């Protein structure tokens, strides 16, 4: 019985990592997206601040491109931490989704600190105690973790309330959406109850993570509620960790590609370049869209559709039919 929470945690970490890798590989193998050509592009080194592009330069194809990683980070970090786009486009949603996400980040940060603490203890037993760092680190971990759980719980409750009451979301809310939020509420709530009732200094959960990284499958200390609550918290958090990347909540992977492969993909298609054969292969693929401006029949290729006007073809067919009928 003592091994169960450890085995469950190891399995959860393994499922999370495998699922994220599978998602990443799936997105990376998707066909090239049609270019948006929306500016500014964050990695434009000297032109992003006014919405410019390397295409402004005369004979730009002969000049080396200037790509700024710092420019991307200036956009990505605020977007990841503060959900800037949501705040600008949907402030009402942001008031709920920001605390949920930011609380989740703080909770993840607390877990990362606990794992780091456990690794140091495993590699250099007593080193932190000798340096009088155990108590300060424990305090920081507890403050960050509890703040994350409280803020995240408030955000999850707010999102659940909005899902249940907003007419705008009625047609877009599924049972899975509600279950996901309830799952977070249960896991965060159980962890907060563990802290408040039996683990105010975080010693139990930190002891568990230290054993986890050092592969010491030692039973949780305590009896009754002092053992049951931490165990329930570990089980719920482990299941949540494994569950998230298996659902649409793994959009954190897709968001990377949405920015880098769609919004910011302005790599030029030059003769003999790496883009040319990819685009040519895509243009040769058949299309079966039924829209009147496409009239794909599963036989026409993208290249044919892109170089013909279906409305002119219709007129030609009508004229041809009239001629045949008139004979």
**pLDDT tens figures, 35-88:** 776 788 999 988 888 988 898 999 998 888 889 999 999 999 999 999 999 999
Where do the structural domains in the chain lie, given as residue ranges? 4-30+83-246, 284-326
Whether residue 327 is predicted with pLDDT greater than 70 in this model: the reply is no
Whether residue 317 is predicted with pLDDT greater than 80 in this model: the reply is no
Radius of gyration of the CA atoms of the chain, in A: 27
**SS3 label, residue 286:** strand
List all residues 6 or more positions away from 225 whose beta carbon is below 8 Å from its beta carbon.
Answer: 197, 198
- Residue 202 — φ and ψ, nearest 5°? 75, 10
pTM, two decimals, is: 0.86
CA-to-CA dists, residue 313 to 52, 288, 298, 317, 325, angstroms: 39, 17, 17, 6, 18
Whether residue 318 is predicted with pLDDT greater than 80 in this model: the reply is no
List all residues 6 or more positions away from 138 whose beta carbon is below 8 Å from its beta carbon.
Answer: 201, 202, 203, 206
Check residue 211 and give its pLDDT: 92
Check residue 125 and give its pLDDT: 86
Mean pLDDT within 128-146: 91
Check residue 187 and give its pLDDT: 97
Mean pLDDT within 157-172: 92
List all residues 6 or more positions away from 178 whose beta carbon is below 8 Å from its beta carbon.
Answer: 160, 163, 164
Condensed to tens digits (0 to 9), the pLDDT of residues 255-307 reads: 889 888 888 888 888 889 888 999 999 999 998 887 777 777 788 888 888 88
Check residue 295 and give its pLDDT: 72
Write down the CATH number for the domain with range 4-30+83-246: 1.20.950.20
Q: Which pLDDT band holds residue 117 (cuts at 50, 70, 90)?
A: very high
Whether residue 104 is predicted with pLDDT greater than 80 in this model: the reply is yes
Check residue 7 and give its pLDDT: 95
Check residue 239 and give its pLDDT: 97
Q: Which pLDDT band holds residue 208 (cuts at 50, 70, 90)?
A: very high
- 14-23, 115-124, 314-323: segment of lowest average pLDDT: 314-323
Check residue 36 and give its pLDDT: 72
Tokens of 294: 């496409």
Query: In angstroms, rounded to a whole number, what is the distance separating the alpha carbons of residues 19 and 248?
Result: 12
Q: What percent of the chain has pLDDT over 90?
A: 54
Closest CA to 164 of 148, 182, 150, 147: 182
Check residue 326 and give its pLDDT: 65
Q: Which has more pLDDT, 34 or 67?
A: 67
Condensed to tens digits (0 to 9), the pLDDT of residues 219-263 reads: 887 778 888 999 999 999 999 999 999 998 888 888 889 888 888
Q: Which has more pLDDT, 327 or 122?
A: 122
């Amino acid at each position: 019985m003592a091994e169960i929470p450890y085995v469950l945690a190891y399995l959860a970490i393994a499922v999370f990592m495998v699922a994220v890798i599978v998602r990443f590989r799936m997105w990376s193998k998707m066909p090239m997206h049609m270019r948006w050509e929306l500016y500014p592009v964050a990695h434009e080194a000297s032109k992003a601040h006014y919405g410019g592009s390397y295409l402004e330069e005369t004979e730009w194809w002969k000049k080396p491109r200037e790509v700024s990683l710092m420019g991307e980070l200036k956009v990505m970090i605020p977007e990841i931490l503060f959900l800037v786009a949501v705040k600008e486009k949907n402030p009402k949603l942001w008031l709920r989704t920001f605390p949920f996400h930011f609380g989740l980040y703080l909770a993840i940060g607390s877990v990362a600190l606990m794992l780091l603490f456990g690794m140091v203890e495993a590699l250099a037993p007593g080193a932190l105690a000798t340096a009088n760092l155990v108590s300060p680190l424990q305090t920081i971990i507890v403050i960050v973790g509890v703040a994350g759980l409280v803020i995240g719980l408030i955000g999850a409750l707010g999102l659940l309330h909005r899902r249940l009451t907003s007419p705008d979301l009625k047609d877009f809310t599924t049972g899975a959406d509600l279950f996901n939020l309830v799952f977070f509420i249960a896991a965060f709530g159980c962890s907060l109850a563990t802290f408040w009732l039996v683990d105010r200094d975080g010693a139990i959960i930190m002891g568990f993570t230290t054993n986890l990284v050092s592969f010491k499958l030692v039973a949780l200390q305590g009896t009754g509620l002092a053992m049951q609550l931490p165990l329930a918290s570990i089980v719920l958090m482990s299941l949540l960790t494994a569950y998230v990347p298996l659902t649409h909540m793994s959009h954190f992977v897709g968001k990377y590609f949405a920015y880098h492969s769609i919004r910011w993909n302005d790599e030029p298609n030059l003769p003999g370049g790496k883009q040319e054969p990819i685009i040519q292969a895509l243009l040769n693929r058949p299309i079966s869209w039924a829209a009147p401006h496409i009239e794909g029949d599963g036989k026409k290729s993208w290249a044919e559709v892109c170089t013909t006007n279906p409305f002119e073809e219709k007129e030609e067919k009508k004229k041809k039919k009239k001629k045949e009928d008139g004979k």
